[in-house]
Structure 1
């Protein structure tokens, strides 16, 4: 018998001063059995940091043709392709051709990801943004996870202030460019 996904519920207060996004929302995040807590937290961070109308979780773990997070316009067309973890260059290349904007959020060493992409064709590589967090931040956030979660997330001048179930953390949001 296959093990099903674990559902985590988040009540989110988002204040992204850098982008002018201020929202309160509730979201259910399904953690696939093969997905680590760190990956799920990074996926949640990507969702919050990219939050806009039309955003949704994709089927990245179970569906090869969708990213972890995507944004669709009112016609259903994908406008933003947001990967999580350490996707290979071919996947990022395909995402860049499918959407007008591509971002990758990682809980891994960004230098290793950039090295793996070096010399490989990535459509509009100069527009691709790889974002990472301070060492240990994602793991500390994952340690505070529960099934029902209260999350307050603020971003100002590239600094992330994060409170999950009473655990307060902060991290820089580091941007790395491919080209």
Structure 2
């Protein structure tokens, strides 16, 4: 018998001073059995750092081959932002860059390895695509604090990320690299 997805709920307060985004969110994230807790935390942080009207987690989540982990649609349903998480292959990033005005990749992995995997590959507008990475210890500590029902505060100022998750306070810089 196959194991189903684990549902995680978040009562989240977002204060992104850098972008002027302030929101109280109630989020439900399904963690697929093949998805690591670190991937789920990175997916949540990507959502917060990219937050704008029309943002959503993709229907297929980690198992989707047609959509990224997070995307933004305008009122007509057109995809305006394609946000990949982890270490996506170059074909996915290329396809996303052709479909959306803006693309970003968020990773909890070694950014040098992710960049090496994508460098030299055919990726539409690669020079405009940021790769945002988080400190490994930060992601591991956040993953250790994760529960099924979560209370979280995410604050961003000058690309410094502050996360309080279920009483655990953490901070890190969101380091930005570019694919080309």
Q: TM-score category by the smaller chain?
A: over 0.9
Residues paired across the two proteins, number: 179
Match of 1:36 in 2: 36
Q: TM-score of the superposition, structure 1-length normalised?
A: 0.98
Report whether the alignment pairs 1:104 with 2:102: no
Match of 2:54 in 1: 54
Matches within 5 A, 1:75-94: 75-94=76-95
Match of 2:75 in 1: 74
What CA distance in whole angstroms lies between the structure 2 residues aligned with 1:135 and 1:30? Answer: 22
CA offset at residue 118 of structure 1?
Answer: 1.4
What CA distance in whole angstroms lies between the structure 2 residues aligned with 1:102 and 1:177? Answer: 11
Q: 1:24 to 1:114 in 2, by over 3 A?
A: same
Listed one character per residue, the Cα deviations across residues 85-125 of structure 1 (whole Å, up to 9, x for unaligned) are 00011110011001000000000001111111111111001
What's the secondary structure of 1:40's corresponding residue?
helix
Q: TM-score of the superposition, structure 2-length normalised?
A: 0.97
Listed one character per residue, the Cα deviations across residues 38-70 of structure 1 (whole Å, up to 9, x for unaligned) are 000000000111111111101242220000000
CA offset at residue 25 of structure 1?
Answer: 1.1
Report whether the alignment pairs 1:18 with 2:15: no
What's the secondary structure of 2:22's corresponding residue?
strand
What CA distance in whole angstroms lies between the structure 1 residues aligned with 2:168 and 2:62? Answer: 28
What CA distance in whole angstroms lies between the structure 2 residues aligned with 1:28 and 1:71? Answer: 17
Report whether the alignment pairs 1:145 with 2:146: yes
What CA distance in whole angstroms lies between the structure 2 residues aligned with 1:82 and 1:33? Answer: 21
- Structure 2 unaligned residues grouped into runs of 5+: none
CA offset at residue 13 of structure 1?
Answer: 0.4
Match of 1:130 in 2: 131
Listed one character per residue, the Cα deviations across residues 104-154 of structure 1 (whole Å, up to 9, x for unaligned) are 000000111111111111100111010001231111100000111000010
CA offset at residue 15 of structure 1?
Answer: 0.3
